[in-house]
Structure 1
Amino acid sequence: MPGLFGHGGLWSGACPCCGPEGLVPAEALPRRGLLAAVLAGSVAAAAPVQAQGATRSLRVRRQVTNDSFSGVYFRDGRYDREALRQLDIVFRDLSRAETTPMDPRLFDVMSTVARQMDASDETFEVVSGYRTPETNAGNASRSRRVSRVSLHMSGMAADCRLPGRSAVQLARLASEMRLGGVGLYSRDGFVHLDCGPVRRW
């Protein structure tokens, strides 16, 4: 499989956008708007998610907190606001106790990939979701590999795994589907998925 991803093949390591997370209780949390500067170049470049019929569902559980969501988030041609609110909490920045309206196309990417893997009834473990600019800046100050314009800050990215499934298999399929960005972190056993421009590493 050499050459499937950048950096001379399969690249191991921590997500360049992420760092250690602290534990913060799930309670009423403040919300931020999306980062317009990051979205401007990303939204138009994102590939469309394949049609999934009348409903779209997702099963996710947050690492560390065990917060979870399991159910339909899109029905009758529109996103379910309450389901999205619950997902925002699951994907929150744990270190800052802060949520943002996640881009629902990220959930479409995850749902589509799970469906294509015949894993719609399995639960994604979310390692990292939204990152505040402060969290990202802190990570960037500690590592040259941290992007200062990370899509995690726009609620457009997640680092995740499907327990019992190969991260390599998940990354390969997601990359072939060309729904957005895909990064494989084989050493830690997770995959970065986003709904931004199609790319891989």
Structure 2
Amino acid sequence: MRPRLPPCPCCTGGGETILPRRGLLGAALGLACTAAAGARAQVPDTAPRRLTIQRLQTGEVFDGPYWRDGRYDREALRQLDWVLRDPSMEEATPMDPRLFDVLATVARQMDASEGYQVISGYRAPETNAARARESRRVSRASLHMSGMAADVRLPGRDSLGLARLAAELQVGGVGLYRRDGFVHLDCGPARRWQ
């Protein structure tokens, strides 16, 4: 029997320290730098990197390369930012491109033929605060607010299998929400919870 990991303080309500908004975002981005090397090591730098995602709330789809010729494609990143926006506020933010590397790495390792369904991408602070009031499982310091996280599922794939593979790759945070049928993936430090 494997030991149960404690809940992630970044994405659950338990035990986190509340920082001022600027301090929180700076701290989250600073911590995320430690995962950058791991995410980059999983994706070859010469081959184009592709993603297929559908935002469930809006039906919008991104399907194509977001990295080519050795760099991120700015127009593709802008499109991804919009698809992953907070639909309740119609507010987008620049998503951390390393999140797309995490998603692409996991999909490639799963040999996924279908794209991700995105339940939650960027969350405006107001949206996140409202969700945190409704559920203790939502962190007041969520990486969703800094464009570093997405809650996803892969059609035809078991969420437990997806979470296990992502955790083995250690390219960022992995949260399994089995009852809700999705997995939280982020480009922050490697950690896992359920």
TM range (shorter): 0.7 to 0.9
Match of 1:85 in 2: 78
Match of 2:89 in 1: 96
Post-superposition CA distance 1:87-145 (Å, at most 9, x none):
001100111110000001000000011101111x3110000000111111222233333
TM-score normalized by structure 2? Answer: 0.84
Distance 1:187 1:145 in 2: 13
Post-superposition CA distance 1:135-178 (Å, at most 9, x none):
11222233333212110001000000001111111000000000
Question: Which has the larger helix fraction?
Answer: 2
Q: Tell me the matched-pair count.
A: 177
Q: Which amino acid aligns with 2:30?
A: A
Alpha carbons 1:5, 1:200 under 8 Å: kept: no
Match of 2:148 in 1: 156
| Structure 2: runs of 5+ lacking an equivalent | 14-23
**Match for 1:35 among 3, 12, 25?**
25
User: Cα gap change, 1:5/1:43 in structure 2, threshold over 3 Å: closer, same or farther?
Assistant: farther
TM-aligned CA deviation for residue 7 of structure 1: 5.0
| Structure 1, 138-147 or 183-192: larger mean CA deviation | 138-147
TM-aligned CA deviation for residue 47 of structure 1: 4.8
User: Cα gap change, 1:5/1:106 in structure 2, threshold over 3 Å: closer, same or farther?
Assistant: farther
Distance 1:147 1:65 in 2: 24
**Match for 1:72 among 65, 77, 100?**
65
**Match for 1:56 among 15, 38, 49?**
49
Percent identical among aligned pairs is 64
Match of 1:30 in 2: none
| Structure 1: runs of 5+ lacking an equivalent | 9-14, 18-33
Match of 1:174 in 2: 166
Q: Secondary structure at the match of 1:176?
A: helix
User: Cα gap change, 1:100/1:4 in structure 2, threshold over 3 Å: closer, same or farther?
Assistant: farther
User: Cα gap change, 1:179/1:4 in structure 2, threshold over 3 Å: closer, same or farther?
Assistant: farther
Alpha carbons 1:47, 1:197 under 8 Å: kept: no
TM-score normalized by structure 1? Answer: 0.81
Tell me how large the CA RMSD over aligned residues is.
2.1
Match of 2:182 in 1: 190
